[in-house]
Structure 1
Amino acid sequence: MPTIALLIASNVFMTFAWYGHLKFTSQPLWKVVLISWGIAFFEYCLMVPANRMGFGEFTAGQLKTIQEVVTLLVFAAFSVLYLGEALRWNHLGAFCCLVGAVWFMFRG
């Protein structure tokens, strides 16, 4: 469980680093790149320990699959709560496909 908690926290930082600047389009690009790098530092400080702790309990492929699911869940929440975008039926369809990927990855 600590691995997944760290992956969630890491993805929150990653999502803000990659997409948080979209609300500040009037800012110069160089400025948002530097700020994004600063935010991404904290993402790495959480992602690397998450993968290190999780490896052994999970395979590398399983860790990556978990990370992708977490990324999409965090991004879905971010896009609704921060960017004010709506979730549509095709988002649910894509997530269902991802659940299928998880099933295949974790299958014995």
Structure 2
Amino acid sequence: MTALSSIPFSLQTVLLLAASNVFMTIAWYGHLKNLATSPWYIAALISWGIALAEYLLQVPANRIGFQQAGFTVGQLKIMQEVITLAVFVPFAVFFLKEPLKLDYLWAALCMVGAVYFIFRSS
């Protein structure tokens, strides 16, 4: 029995999506700080390598969520977007040193509405 088998499928989905989003955010935006002086194609190749880790987590997350947890594709997509915002904001503020803006709160409130509408018929 593996450690994952004792975790509910819905939580496995969320945890895998969160982990995949960490890699995705680093792949998409980490080069803006760490590889700022490198040629774009070097940043693209390194980002592509990091994105592979993201796919290795995201694909199983979506399969588990859809096949075992019973989420719809729309629900998986909205979950992904909410998790993306939850990972991106701290990354932007703490790693990229972007200012924390009230706009992030408004975006999060819009996401709450999206979650409500996509999950209300479940």
Give the letter for the 2:16 counterpart. L
Match of 1:69 among 82, 106, 121: 82
- What is the 5 A alignment of 1:1-108? 1-23=11-33, 24-56=35-67, 57-108=70-121
Return the offset for 1:28: 1.0
1:25 is paired with a residue of what secondary structure?
Answer: coil
- Distance of 1:25 and 1:48 partners within structure 2: 30
**TM-score for the superposition, normalised by structure 1:** 0.96
1:85 is paired with a residue of what secondary structure?
Answer: coil
Larger Rg: 2
- Distance of 2:115 and 2:109 partners within structure 1: 10
Q: Deviations over 1:27-58 (max 9, x none)?
A: 11111110000000000000000000000421
Aligned residues: 108
List alignment gaps of at least 5 residues for structure 2: 1-10
**TM-score for the superposition, normalised by structure 2:** 0.86
Return the offset for 1:94: 1.3
Q: Give the percent of matched residue pairs that are identical in Structure 1 and Structure 2.
A: 58
List alignment gaps of at least 5 residues for structure 1: none
Q: Which runs of 4+ in 1 moved over 6 A?
A: none
2:30 is paired with a residue of what secondary structure?
Answer: helix
Root-mean-square deviation over aligned CA pairs: 0.8
